[in-house]
Structure 1
Amino acid sequence: MTIRIEKIETGFAAYFPYDLKDNFRATFKTAKWNSQLKRWEVGPRSGKRLEQWAAEAQAAAEAIEQEAEAELTEQDLAQIRNELAKIHGDIEAAQERKAKIAEVKQMLADARAELDEAKQALTEEKAAADEVQKDVATLIANVCDMKAVTEAHKAMIKNQGIKKAWATKLYREAQEVIEEQHDKLRDAGFVSEGLEELENFNVNRTDRDNARRVTEADILTITKIDD
């Protein structure tokens, strides 16, 4: 900042850096501060001495200004560095989030691929099981009267748990049909898990031997009799 002197009605006004204030007041003890116009004012007789002071103090004013500019530059530089550090931190955080998202997406894609493979394998296994069951059903149907088996099974379910002689008679007659048809299957070299259960059920132990729990799948579960 250049020290500036201005002629005013009451004398002279001086404008200079704040750091020169003490030196100025020591030199011009009667100087007054004009707070409205932000300047120091001296009387008309102090003009020459004011010019001499300004000439001598100009170098100091320039040094003060340069120091202030240097300090401001350092502050600006520090602020820029802080902002850059924050930006770099945000970039790194964003990159980490991006990497994690990519990792999760890849894991999800792998899991979906594995799930698709498992579904395909399950579909194939079910299809194979259905084919086996069809073959078993065909085999049993060629040997046994499956309609008679079904009706006898229903009769056992209907009459179990009824404490009447007629119900017991119907239950055992149905059980004889089951045994008869199972004998045909055994003669062919096979045994049915479900039919074996039904023919061995005790009509008086429905708490244990419940015909309702034997399913068609149980009846179609057959094994070959060892020679």
Structure 2
Amino acid sequence: MTRVINGIRIEEHTDQLYIRFPFALKDLFRASFKTSKWDSSAKAWTVKATTANKNKVAAWSATAEGAAADAVTLEETPFAEADLAKLRRDVARARQDIAAQRERAAAARAESARLTALFIELRKEVEAVRSDAAAAADELHAARQPALALCDELGVGAAIRTLAWFARKSIVLKADKGEFYAACQKLDAAHAEILGRLELNVPGLKLLGDVSVNRLDRLRELLALYEDDVLRGIDAD
């Protein structure tokens, strides 16, 4: 059911009253109906459809016409000097806020420019480090090739495979000790040959060449380091 009182439209639904009225009455309505809610889809204020609320809305609507006229009159009243002074203060404060925001924005731009320049410099340093690392890798690769070729020539791989075979045992039998030490001597001789011919120190060869037949645990440790890459840790003498 819909009623209209003094231009105020009241729609009654099962559990809600929908009230529509001029904007000038909003504060007056909210003061009278503190639990009211705005329904944006219906574009109306709502209160529960209780008997008390129905009577209260009807009574409020009957007296609202004069209140609306008073509200319009108040809105049309010229500004007082105090109002103008307040407005001037508000404008001055707004200008100060804008100036402060501009200062912060300028500082942020300066910091952004500083960080950008720093990032560019750091990126150049990273590229230089990468270039140096690549050059060092190329130098190491070049140094390793002659050493690898000489290792093949001197039978280093066969000697290491022999020691690896012994490393899988718990002890070295007396009959096998000659073969064990022959492999060690070959590695020790290869270390001296590479050092003399290429001026490269291959520590893995020296360590494996000096290992004792009674220290198979030490042999296993060394093989874990050097079996797959006997040239690990090479350097110029």
TM-score, normalised on structure 1? Answer: 0.56
**% of aligned pairs identical?**
12
Question: What does residue 208 of structure 2 align with?
Answer: 198
1:192/1:220 contact within 8 Å kept: yes
Alignment gaps of 5+ in structure 2: 1-65, 71-76
TM-score, normalised on structure 2? Answer: 0.54
Question: What does residue 171 of structure 2 align with?
Answer: 163
More displaced, 126-135 or 173-182? 173-182
Supply the RMSD in Å over aligned alpha carbons: 3.3
Residue 221 of structure 1: how far off its partner (Å): 4.5
2:204/2:222 contact within 8 Å kept: no
Secondary structure of the corresponding residue to residue 218 of structure 2: coil
Question: What does residue 27 of structure 1 align with?
Answer: none
Question: What does residue 18 of structure 2 align with?
Answer: none
Task: Return the alpha-carbon distance in structure 2 between the equivalents of residues 108 and 187 of structure 1.
Answer: 48
Question: What does residue 95 of structure 2 align with?
Answer: 84
Residue 75 of structure 1: how far off its partner (Å): 1.9
Task: Return the alpha-carbon distance in structure 1 between the equivalents of residues 236 and 132 of structure 2.
Answer: 24
Residue 73 of structure 1: how far off its partner (Å): 2.8
2:202/2:231 contact within 8 Å kept: no
Mapping 1:129-148, distance limit 5 Å: 129-138=140-149, 140=150, 145-146=153-154, 148=155
CA displacement, residues 125-171 of structure 1 (integer Å, 9 cap, x when unaligned): 21122222234445x35xx724x111111211221253141554542
CA displacement, residues 78-129 of structure 1 (integer Å, 9 cap, x when unaligned): 1100111111112222222222222222222221111111111111121122
Question: What does residue 161 of structure 2 align with?
Answer: 154
Number of aligned residue pairs: give it: 158
Rg bigger for which structure?
A: 1
2:208/2:222 contact within 8 Å kept: yes
Task: Return the alpha-carbon distance in structure 1 between the equivalents of residues 210 and 187 of structure 2.
Answer: 10
Alignment gaps of 5+ in structure 1: 1-34, 39-64
Question: What does residue 184 of structure 2 align with?
Answer: 175
Task: Return the alpha-carbon distance in structure 2 between the equivalents of residues 149 and 132 of structure 1.
Answer: 17
Secondary structure of the corresponding residue to residue 88 of structure 2: helix
Residue 172 of structure 1: how far off its partner (Å): 2.3
- 2:230 corresponds to 1:216: yes
Secondary structure of the corresponding residue to residue 208 of structure 1: helix
After superposing on structure 2, the runs of 4+ consecutive aligned residues of structure 1 that deviate more than 6 Å are 35-38
Mapping 1:64-75, distance limit 5 Å: 69-75=80-86
Residue 195 of structure 1: how far off its partner (Å): 2.3
Question: What does residue 125 of structure 1 align with?
Answer: 136
1:95 partner amino acid: A
1:159/1:167 contact within 8 Å kept: no
2:171 partner amino acid: K
